[in-house]
Structure 1
Amino acid sequence: MPDWSTKVTRLDKDGVVIASGALEVAIGVSLVTLPREQRRVGAFLAAFFTAVFPGNIEQYLKRRNGFGLDTDKKRLVRLFFQPVLVAWALWSTRR
């Protein structure tokens, strides 16, 4: 988590991680239970993936381990997949 995230959300870093995880679950549930809203949920998911990208950059720059990302190479590769996730969220939820 970027250091500035705790100031913006007024949560500690663990709270931000828990909140973003809960949001991910809610988005997944929405994709399954709201089929008529898939396009809108897909756009929200793409926005979510975009919003967490600064945290991924900070994790790479500050060499922070987490979620199996324990080398600079793994953290760097993830950065290149983030735009793929954004595109996939939009593409897979279009009608």
Structure 2
Amino acid sequence: MARTNKLGMVKHGARLLLGTFMLFAGIAHLTFARRAFRAQVPDWLPMDKDRVVVLSGVVEIGLGLLVIFAGHRSRSIPWLLAIFFVLVFPGNIAQYLNHRDAFGLDSDTARLTRLFFQPVLIYWALWSMGAIPPNIRKNRAGLGSR
């Protein structure tokens, strides 16, 4: 039971950290990092880049608040966040393919490395809010050997 309680505390902290990260990123979209976020908007997207940045920032703020205040009670919030991370991934790819510097990513190696962290964010969202079931250990006692 103590191990489960500690794991619950770690998940709770991870969820709050992720929600805070989302809230901060959303605010950054609307304020001090707005220009940098425009570097990630793919050229093929048929919408004004600044509008995309503003709308995605608003969505990130909303998701951040949901994660912080309701992420532990809702089965849909982790999946909504995971879907959001999938939807913004083409922006990360566009930044890499178009060789656009932003957020200190000033080389192709740095931009490429960043791409591998998107699955980590998806897993973090699903794990920290309980969408990934805990490891179930089978009780092999009593099964005997054959």
Q: Tell me the TM-score normalized by structure 1.
A: 0.85
TM-superposed CA distance for 1:88, in Å, is 1.1
State the partner residue of 1:82: 118
Normalized per residue, which structure has more helix? 1
Runs of 4+ off more than 4 Å: none
Any unmatched runs of 5+ in structure 2?
A: 1-40, 132-146
TM-superposed CA distance for 1:4, in Å, is 2.1
Paired residues in the alignment total: 90
Structure 2: how far apart are the matches of 1:22 and 1:68? 23
Identity %: 53
Structure 2: how far apart are the matches of 1:69 and 1:40? 32
State the partner residue of 2:44: 4
Of structures 1 and 2, the larger Rg is shown by 2
State the partner residue of 1:16: 52
Larger RCO (CA under 8 A, 6+ residues apart):
1
Q: Tell me the TM-score normalized by structure 2.
A: 0.57
State the partner residue of 1:26: 62
TM-superposed CA distance for 1:45, in Å, is 0.5
2:73 to 11, 26, 36: 36
Give deviations 1:24-82, integer Å, cap 9, x for gaps. 11101011222422x31111000000001111111101101122222212111110101
1:67 paired with 2:107, answer no
